[in-house]
Amino acid sequence: MYGRAVAAAVDPIEKKPLFHFLPGTTSFSLAAVGCNFACLFCQNSDISQMPRDCSAIAGTDFPPNLVVDRAMAAGCASIAYTYTEPTVFFEYAEACMDLALAEGIKNVFVTNGYMTRQALERLQGKLHAANVDLKGFSDSFYRRVIGARLGPVKRSIALMVEMGIWVEVTTLLIPGYNDDEGELRELAYFLASLSTDLPWHISRFHPSYRLLDVPPTPVATIERAAAIGREAGLNYVYTGNIPGHDGESTVCPRCGEVVINRFGFSIRHHNLNGNRCGNCGASLPLIGLEVRP
């Protein structure tokens, strides 16, 4: 698996999704096959579950030096280890990260967060940002639907925040599985206890993999979850997989002005002076801002 990529593409960083880290830039996305989870609702099962379902390791030779060369040639500000689970191709990712650092390119994980403290500490100074999939907030859900446990994911999120890695969290809401309001409230308060500036992306489920009989998440359910997040004190709560929804945009928590207006993964316009709200001047957590007027 080392040095063999099953997918590589240039994406907007917002697709990870990361809305507060290098907004307006592109990220070179890289994946090898496999995952340490077996989510019944996997959105990338063709590559993440390939070793489990097909007993196959697909991919083409793509050594770390070429990955970084391609990222530089494309003008990417970061490399994202994504689409599958980067801890499964940890050594490959780490080799790319080391070379990227030397060229001034940032490194991003899109991860399920199921990793040890030792793994995270090994990435100290190499990993700049992560979007962590916090897939629910009950251990029974994790065991029944994913084949894992909740505790290690919570610990990883907390440790990343403690280490100074920029963290955003995504939860895919699945009707009847992880949309209980009480659990969502506990999840939101957990995130707020780490930082009220930690962005929470709440995404709409569409039938996939082994949950093809489950309907798409009602938009009203996503909106209610977002309201719960704000009630818990989170300043930046986003709705996902609903293109054109107001919940895609960044709002100043002080004055309520829309400071970054988005449609899907695209920034349409902004009202910012540097990292400050153009209306009230509040300082906002936007790292490496690259959006244009």
Tokens 């629910």 belong to residue: 136
Q: CA torsion 170→174→176→182, rounded to 10°? A: 20
Is the whole model's pTM more than 0.85, yes or no?
yes
Token readout for 44 is: 């990338």
Question: What are the residue ranges in the chain where pLDDT is below 50?
Answer: 293
What is the domain partition of the chain in residue ranges? 4-277
Cα dist from 28 to 80, 82, 93, 217, 266, whole Å: 6, 10, 12, 30, 16
Quote the pLDDT of residue 131: 99
User: How much is the pLDDT for 54?
Assistant: 73
If one looks up domain 4-277 in CATH, what number appears?
Answer: 3.20.20.70
Q: Judging by DSSP bridges, how do beta strands 258-263 and 266-270 pair with one another? A: antiparallel
The pLDDT of residue 292 is 54
- Of 51, 56, 50, 82, the residue nearest 67 (C-alpha): 82
Residue 44: what pLDDT? 84
pLDDT single digits (tens) 248-291: 999 999 999 999 999 999 999 999 999 999 999 999 999 987 65
d(CA 23, CA 288): 7
What was the pLDDT predicted at 246?
96
- pLDDT confidence of residue 51: 67
